[in-house]
Structure 1
Amino acid sequence: MAGPYPAEADLLSVPPEPLGVALVVPAAQGPRFTPEAQLFIYTAAMWEEFIHEWARTLPYHKVRRFGGANDHGVDIAGFESAAGFGGVWDCFQCKHYKDALMPTDAWPEIYKVLRYAESGYYTLPRTYHFMAPRGLGATLDQMLLRPGELKAAFLKVLAEGKVGPPNNNDERDKIAAYAETADFSIFQSSTPAELLEQHKSSPQHTVRFAVPLPAAPPAQSPPVEPAPEEAKYLEQLYDVYAERFGTTARSIEDLAEHPKAHAHLRSQREYFYCAETFRIFYRDKVPPMTFENLQDQVHEGVKEIHDEDHTSGYERLQKVLSASQQINLTTNALISVWQARDKKGICHQLANDDRLRWCQ
């Protein structure tokens, strides 16, 4: 294998295009298309974007998408290490055709990857996947399950001049010699159903296919000893109780001497942990910043009540919590799964970030 491996920057790289905050999709009139049916009507570019998202759910060191005429036979690459094309990597070749893939669709792609591997442009990938929304035809599918038969068929069409440059026998002979030593079991495929099942772990899945979010699990119970991340909103609540009840307590244990304040604090901690359970459960199920967008909208919904003059911090707290229950949002997908206690808990998250302050 001759020649140095190229730097990844030498290839045309297309960065991922995040779909953005998950928003509520208006109910469509008429029948709903299943995710698999939606894949059929994608453009070739949309299909590559989907495969890129799918590959990013796999445990690679890095996933890159390459595009244009100079992709050197690689649409999507998953790299096991910083060595990139010089180390272990997997190739995902995207083919969005109206029919299932046939052997005649595969030969040029196999030739291309063997050609660049033989020349030293990159190492031969560990696996090479044909990615097609309509899958493979029976003939190609069975060939992939019989690597020896696949190799023999490829060498035959190569010898007949049906693949590769028609007027360059030297190159075809060189590729034939390289193919003889290559392991054709690297050539594989995945069904649309398999792709969609794995894609469910992508935070883009809900946005891309407008599917319902799963219900969150029961909220975590507050621990006996407060967690470090509770410090700020608890300090604010101790201030509220000092003003309202005349307590001097600055800990949950000290507050136990005042039953009414202690019971109130227990409820507020439960609300906070409801919101934390909600945040943690959904953070990998929606695009980045979706939960933060929800917090922003809650803040927007309660800030006028918060900023009004109140007789006490306790009154401000209670009125803000009550106002949170009246918020009627329409644009964030998480509103389809949040509950009343989550809204109150978000108010304490905002207090934890000093965006709400009960005693002024």
Structure 2
Amino acid sequence: MPQFKSLSKPKIDIENFGMGANISPINQVRMMDEDSFEHFTVEWLYTCKRNMYTSIRKIGGAGDKGRDVIGYYNNGTVDYYQCKHYASALMPSHYYIELGKLCYFTFSKEYAIPKNYYIVASNDIGPTLNRLIENPNELRSELKINWDGYCKNAITKTNEIALNGVFEKYVDSFDFSIIHHCPIQSVIDDHIRTIYGTIRFGGVSVKIPDKVDPPEALDSDELIYVIELLKVYAEALGIDELPMDMLEKYAKYNQNFERQRKDYYSAETIRRFVRDVFTDSKQFEVLKDETYDGIIEVHEAEYPNGFGRLNAVTKHASMVTTDKSLLSSKLHCIGNSEKKGVCHILVNDGRLKWVNNDD
């Protein structure tokens, strides 16, 4: 049974960034496997066509019945997209079965007749299939002539689908003008202008999202590192505890706190960017490990108090080389503020503390 997956956002692979910069995009597309080509098509639809639709859904698994992706309009109508990754241009003989599925499964009401049915093929369609698509009546005639050879025993695994009776009348009345072809170069030209195109094809700088400004109210994710900072300031002031609502009374430490929050959100912007855009990427974890390895000796040194440790570690963090992370070496989105902010994420993770009772 096909599984429908609602597409909130397709993911991309940071490890592929710029890898194909010396190979033309069209050749990269032709070198893809079937799954990658289908995912490429989904990326294109999500970024370039999603304003047309209220939702876009991918059908995963066997039994897609001639539909790889469905675009839903707000009036309930749909478009179907069928992806074909062949080593050569599609010929009619490649496609009769897909047209047969479209006719049969709409006839049997297993799915609705679409407003548009789009063919997306890695090597485009050949001149004969193109001519048939441009002449819907001729396309119908050729499908009927070739039905027994390509469709009768191939639409389902269990039954022959004969073209006769009521079903033949249905095919005779079917509107084949809904069949369209999406030229692959046009798809690539659209796709390459998106962040997905940047990652797949390289050669363009990735636009990193603007830094998230610290909200006035603390986010729940901030509580651990903020508590540790308040301990730092309390120790420096010689008091047992410094409540958050009392921090403004101490300008030096309040200003320091505001800087630390900005740094935290610089790093958090990148963390969210990786989480939301990339496919199962470990690159932010690599960044954290690189930062930790670069600062741990400085962190473990002796200081008069936690405030001294905080300042020494964050200062040193800005000088740590983090090129093992592709976020730094390929996307070039890790600067001083991000490196300092990673220190607070390490505090959230329990890997660092500022106040050492032995100091």
What CA distance in whole angstroms lies between the structure 2 residues aligned with 1:136 and 1:100? 5
Contact 1:275–1:341 (CA<8 Å) still a contact in 2?
yes
Q: Give aligned-pair identity as a percent.
A: 25
Instruction: Give the letter for the 1:302 counterpart.
Output: I
Aligned to 2:155: none
**Secondary structure at 2:125 match in 1:** coil
Match 1:165 to one of 136, 149, 153: 149
| More displaced 10-residue stretch of structure 1: 237-246 or 119-128 | 119-128
1:192-234 superposed Cα distances (whole Å, 9 cap, x missing partner): 35544358767x6665445555243543443444444433322
Aligned to 1:64: 59
How many residue pairs get aligned? The number is: 331
* Displacement after TM superposition at 1:75 (Å): 5.9
Contact 1:233–1:348 (CA<8 Å) still a contact in 2?
yes
Matched, 1:41 2:31: yes
Contact 1:53–1:199 (CA<8 Å) still a contact in 2?
no
What CA distance in whole angstroms lies between the structure 2 residues aligned with 1:209 and 1:27? 7
Aligned to 2:254: 262
What CA distance in whole angstroms lies between the structure 1 residues aligned with 2:278 and 2:186? 20
| More displaced 10-residue stretch of structure 1: 319-328 or 71-80 | 71-80
Aligned to 1:189: 181
* Displacement after TM superposition at 1:157 (Å): 1.7
Instruction: Give the letter for the 1:153 counterpart.
Output: E
TM-score with structure 2 length normalisation? 0.72
**Secondary structure at 2:334 match in 1:** coil
Instruction: Give the letter for the 2:338 counterpart.
Output: D
Aligned to 1:321: 314
Contact 1:351–1:357 (CA<8 Å) still a contact in 2?
yes
Matched, 1:93 2:78: no
Aligned to 2:156: none
Matched, 1:284 2:279: no
Aligned to 1:338: 334
Q: 1:54 to 1:92 in 2, by over 3 A?
A: same
Aligned to 1:3: none
Q: 1:165 to 1:123 in 2, by over 3 A?
A: farther
What CA distance in whole angstroms lies between the structure 1 residues aligned with 2:150 and 2:317? 71
Which ranges of structure 2 fall in alignment gaps of 5 or more residues? 153-159
**Secondary structure at 2:164 match in 1:** helix
Aligned to 2:138: 153
Contact 2:77–2:114 (CA<8 Å) still a contact in 1?
yes
Q: 1:51 to 1:330 in 2, by over 3 A?
A: same
What CA distance in whole angstroms lies between the structure 2 residues aligned with 1:167 and 1:278? 51
What CA distance in whole angstroms lies between the structure 1 residues aligned with 2:184 and 2:237? 62
TM-score with structure 1 length normalisation? 0.72
Contact 1:111–1:164 (CA<8 Å) still a contact in 2?
no
Contact 1:236–1:358 (CA<8 Å) still a contact in 2?
yes
What CA distance in whole angstroms lies between the structure 1 residues aligned with 2:119 and 2:251? 66
* Displacement after TM superposition at 1:130 (Å): 1.0
1:114-170 superposed Cα distances (whole Å, 9 cap, x missing partner): 2343345544455432111233346645654x5xx31x11232245x3343389798
Computed over aligned residues only, the root mean square deviation of the Cα atoms, in angstroms, reads 4.1
Q: 1:117 to 1:338 in 2, by over 3 A?
A: same
* Displacement after TM superposition at 1:38 (Å): 0.6
Q: 1:312 to 1:170 in 2, by over 3 A?
A: closer
Aligned to 1:245: 237
**Secondary structure at 1:128 match in 2:** strand
What CA distance in whole angstroms lies between the structure 2 residues aligned with 1:167 and 1:102? 15
Q: 1:343 to 1:116 in 2, by over 3 A?
A: same
Contact 2:274–2:281 (CA<8 Å) still a contact in 1?
no
Q: 1:296 to 1:200 in 2, by over 3 A?
A: farther
Instruction: Give the letter for the 2:84 counterpart.
Output: K
